[in-house]
Structure 1
Amino acid sequence: MGHYFTTFIIILIFSVFSMPVSANSEAVALLKKIDELYRSDSSVSTMKMHIVTPNWNRTLELQSWTIGMDDTFIRILSPKKDRGVATLKKGREMWNYFPKINKVIKVPPSMMMGSWMGSDFTNDDLVREVSLVKEYNVQMTESSDQYQLVLIPKKDTVTVWARIDVLVEKEGLLPVEQNYFNEKGEKVRSMYFSNVRDFSGKKIPATMSMVPHNKKGHKTEFEYIKLEFNNDINKGVFTLRNLQKRVQ
């Protein structure tokens, strides 16, 4: 009885989505689009991060520079007590700089899934160290108005996620929701995309809200205020010397 009931539930869940609609290459192409949505060849952006917990709230203003998937530099502009805190990522190496103690701390691989500045986003989320296309196998199904990308980590991928599901609206091909599952199949957190805006002629969701399902009352909202693509960025931005630059 239990076996047949489980089978029925699985069939019911997947009845919302059809069987794979296309060759794997089409699923990979859509995932690549999502992977590069906020980066392009290069980008310069100003963002706000609003962190909500049951006991306190706070808002950070950030500025970020990126080149491809490899180089990222983020500096906090406000509030005053955090101004100058910075993060640099080159390849698979990452450092944080804390001006109050004038110290650079290298982030070990084991800490990439740790919280960034007390938010619900991880270090990896902020610098997008992992390329989803390179690190995950993907299958695609569809409903009447959405595609569902099911991502399973490749054999050599180091990650805490056993599966990531990405829901993409057919009209516009933009993500609306991204769900993260652990090895037990439990949905640990969800990221919701909203507030589609035009940045440099490219329409993207300007707001991303990360909600952890194991921490009641917690949410982090990340919003792009300005975002420019394909800028000519000086490589000197992505250096340890720039990381330690004092901000007045």
Structure 2
Amino acid sequence: MTQRSCSRRHFLAGLAGGLLLPVLTHAADEAPKAPIEADPVVVELVQRADAIRFPRESFQTEIIVRNYSNGVEGDARTFRVLSRGNDNTIVLTLEPATERGQALLMRGRDLWVFMPSVSQPVRLSLAQRLTGQVANGDLARANFAGDYTPAVAGKDTIDGKPALVLELTAVDRGVTYARVRYWIDEADSRPLKAEFYALSGRLLKVARYEDFRELAGRVRPTRLVMEDALKQGEVSVLTYENMNVRDLPERMFTREYLRRLQ
């Protein structure tokens, strides 16, 4: 084979490879990914942090959300949250008076909003914004252990406390955030900080768990500060005014029952 023929052969092979590469890469992207196997020890750690944030039993809590822009307080809203286990939640709007009677109902990862002026409930996304920096899922669902696959990403120090840094990857697209970076106190598993990311990888907001005191028989964070990572100075502060363990029957968490609350 002449040198000219050999060079032409190499050129055509390279060209074919270049044309096929995007196709092969695209096919690889679409191939089903094997499920991530989580370390049971790390899963248990997330479960302990979940149980510190909220009781494992059915409970009721009132939450005031105050929104700030560049340090100036804006609107405020008060919600009552009724939660049964990790999968059934009702979020009732108490204030402002103009929105009283509005309710969110979550069953599993299905979420509906009920409004007095609308006859039929409307399906919502957990990721949709409720108020300020607070998404629907931030109030309606707080089951990190069930919604994400955790892995240890390293260690850090938060306010002088040694912390484990966990990488939480969403189990599917139905959860509130695609990815969460989660700081947990190494000594007692208390949640300290979280970063919430979109599917694109963009950081959406940063949360800090503060003001730990006893609620519902356990020391828990009673203040959650959420800062917008895209708009500097936009902050929402959630204050848990009270929290009580109480029996909440399954029949409460139905659309028929919510209609009676309006």
What interval of TM-score do these two structures reach, taking the shorter chain for normalisation? Answer: 0.7 to 0.9
State the distance in 1 between where 2:169 and 2:182 align.
Answer: 12
Question: Would you say 1:128 and 2:144 are equivalent positions?
Answer: no
- Specify every segment of 5 or more residues in structure 2 that has no aligned partner in the other structure, as ranges: 1-37
Secondary structure of 1:215's match? coil
Normalized per residue, the structure richer in helix is 2
Q: What is the RMSD computed on CA atoms of the aligned residues?
A: 2.5
Offset of 1:75 from its aligned partner? 1.0
Secondary structure of 2:129's match? coil
Paired residues in the alignment total 218
* Cross-structure match for 1:10: none
Distance 1:45 1:212, change over 3 A: same
State the distance in 1 between where 2:59 and 2:170 align.
Answer: 27
Distance 1:56 1:200, change over 3 A: closer
The superposition leaves residues 79-129 of structure 1 with CA deviations (integer Å, 9 ceiling, x where unpaired) of 211212111112232221222x14343224xx321111x321112222117
Map 1:170-185; keep pairs closer than 5 Å.
170-182=186-198, 185=201
Query: 1:39–1:69: 8 Å Cα contact kept in structure 2?
Result: no
Match of 1:201 among 213, 217, 222: 217
Distance 1:157 1:32, change over 3 A: farther
* Cross-structure match for 2:227: 211
Secondary structure of 1:89's match? strand
Query: 1:96–1:104: 8 Å Cα contact kept in structure 2?
Result: no
Secondary structure of 1:103's match? coil
Match of 1:113 among 124, 127, 151: 127
Distance 1:193 1:104, change over 3 A: farther
State the distance in 2 between where 1:143 and 1:115 align.
Answer: 30
Which stretch of structure 1 is more off in the superposition, 133-142 or 171-180? 133-142
* Cross-structure match for 1:165: 181
State the distance in 1 between where 2:178 and 2:77 align.
Answer: 31
* Cross-structure match for 1:20: none
Distance 1:216 1:245, change over 3 A: farther
* Cross-structure match for 2:59: 43
Higher-Rg member (1/2): 2
- TM-score computed with the length of structure 2 as normaliser: 0.73
State the distance in 1 between where 2:169 and 2:156 align.
Answer: 20
Secondary structure of 1:232's match? coil
- Specify every segment of 5 or more residues in structure 1 that has no aligned partner in the other structure, as ranges: 1-22
Question: Would you say 1:33 and 2:48 are equivalent positions?
Answer: yes
- TM-score computed with the length of structure 1 as normaliser: 0.77
The superposition leaves residues 13-58 of structure 1 with CA deviations (integer Å, 9 ceiling, x where unpaired) of xxxxxxxxxx932211111122343141211111111122468711
State the distance in 1 between where 2:78 and 2:251 align.
Answer: 22
State the distance in 1 between where 2:214 and 2:79 align.
Answer: 20
